[in-house]
Amino acid sequence: MGEREKLLEVKNLKKYFPVKGGVLQRTIGHVKAVDDVSFEIYKGETLGIVGESGSGKSTLGRTILRLLDPTEGQVIFEGDDISTLSNRKMRPYRKDMQMVFQDPFASLNPRMSVGEIIEEPMIVQNTLTKKERKEKVVDLLAKVGLPAEARSKYPHEFSGGQRQRIGIARALTLNPKLIIGDEPVSALDVSVQSQVLNLMGDLQDEFDLTYLFIAHDLSVVKHISDRVGVMYLGKMAEIGPKDKIFENPLHPYTQALLSAVPIPDMERKREKITLKGELPSPSNPPSGCPFHTRCPEAHERCKVELPELLHQGNEQYVACHLYTSEEK
Ligand code: ADP
Ligand code: MG
């Protein structure tokens, strides 16, 4: 592997939501949706982020895009710290970073035609003539596998998979560098999921895209990811190259998530690890390691001391007291 260039760097990022209570609606606590997360994304790669519902994945994506303001920490895009930029100063970065949402129906305006939906970001950006915009709409529709006639139709006239293709076309209009897919195939039928995943893979090559791909299930990110990060209660439990995460998961939580993924080759039989209990509330996370209340291997230290994310070699990092030494 040659020298890799960072596109995005997330440093100690936190996003806390205030919890209000009492008659005076005072802040009585915080939901620590994203709690001290650091990682980087290299140009051209796909970083998959997985974790149960409520682990902070969407909040992470939205905070990176500055749809939410970070509570603390930095988001660095192509070397520029964008974490505290004003709306006006954010504008040139907005076109470089786009989001594809889980529910294309909710994210596409039902009263706008597909042509208008795809054209809208270009009108806002105001760099192309009307004719150029129309040409681009037809071109993008073709790229995502839809006929030119789709232009004059409305979102409800399409299937779920087709709607997600429209959402992807819209995300591509301003030639972004980074696409954050927030469970973009989770709402689709399994047969359609792979078609949309394949499309995203093809578009990545064609347009030199970098992906942050969010899913709640490891099987979805398996084929598309170069690296995978596993989130638990707002923190990164483990992150590393995809092959390491799938063949040699270190964190007991990653092992549990992986044990739920069906494996095609019958030689390696895995025990399904069932986690006890529910995901604790991020407004009242457990002390020490946030996973200790459900961890089959928890010991005394885990109840009191938060494990750091440490390098275990081969670019695999894990936050777990079972692995203490930091390898160089
Ligand atoms: P995920 O995408 O992994 O399911 P989210 O980022 O949506 O997780 O949510 C993480 C936590 O933050 C959840 O407990 C959720 O209820 C809470 N949360 C998300 N958005 C808000 C918000 N705008 N206000 C208050 N709490 C929120
Ligand atoms: Mg989510």
What is the pTM for the complete model shown? 0.94
Q: Which tokens go with 72?
A: 């603390």
Determine how β-strand 310-311 pairs with β-strand 317-318.
Answer: antiparallel
Residue 145: strand, helix, or coil? coil
Nearest CA to ligand 1 atom 22: 17
Q: Starting at the edge strand that comes first in sequence, how are the strands of the sheet with 310-311 ordered?
A: 97-100, 178-182, 210-215, 46-50, 227-232, 235-241, 317-318, 310-311
Nearest CA to ligand 1 atom 12: 33
pLDDT tens for each residue of the chain, 328 residues long: 557 899 999 999 999 999 998 888 999 999 999 999 999 999 999 999 999 999 999 999 999 999 999 999 999 999 999 999 999 999 999 999 999 999 877 889 999 999 999 999 999 888 899 999 999 999 999 999 999 999 999 999 999 999 999 999 999 999 999 999 999 999 999 889 999 999 999 999 999 999 999 998 899 999 899 999 999 999 999 999 999 999 999 999 999 999 988 766 555 566 778 888 888 999 999 999 999 999 999 999 999 999 999 999 999 999 999 997 665 5
Residue among 13, 15, 17 to mutate when testing ligand 1 (max atoms within 8 A of CB): 17
- Quote the ligand 2 centre to 203 CA distance (angstroms): 23
DSSP letter, residue 96: T
Ligand 1 pocket check for 86: Cβ under 6 Å: no
Q: If one looks up domain 6-96+176-272 in CATH, what number appears?
A: 3.40.50.300
Q: State the closest ligand 1 atom to the C-alpha of 61, by its place in the atom list counted from 1.
A: 6
Ligand 1 pocket check for 53: Cβ under 6 Å: yes
Residue ranges of domains in the chain = 6-96+176-272
Q: State the closest ligand 1 atom to the C-alpha of 282, by its place in the atom list counted from 1.
A: 14
CA quadruple 232, 236, 238, 239: dihedral sign: positive
- Quote the ligand 1 centre to 234 CA distance (angstroms): 9
Nearest CA to ligand 1 atom 10: 56
Residue among 49, 53, 58, 59 to mutate when testing ligand 1 (max atoms within 8 A of CB): 59
Ligand 1 pocket check for 229: Cβ under 6 Å: no
Alpha-carbon distance of 149 to 235, in angstroms, equals: 45
Ligand 1 pocket check for 61: Cβ under 6 Å: no
Ligand 1 pocket check for 31: Cβ under 6 Å: yes
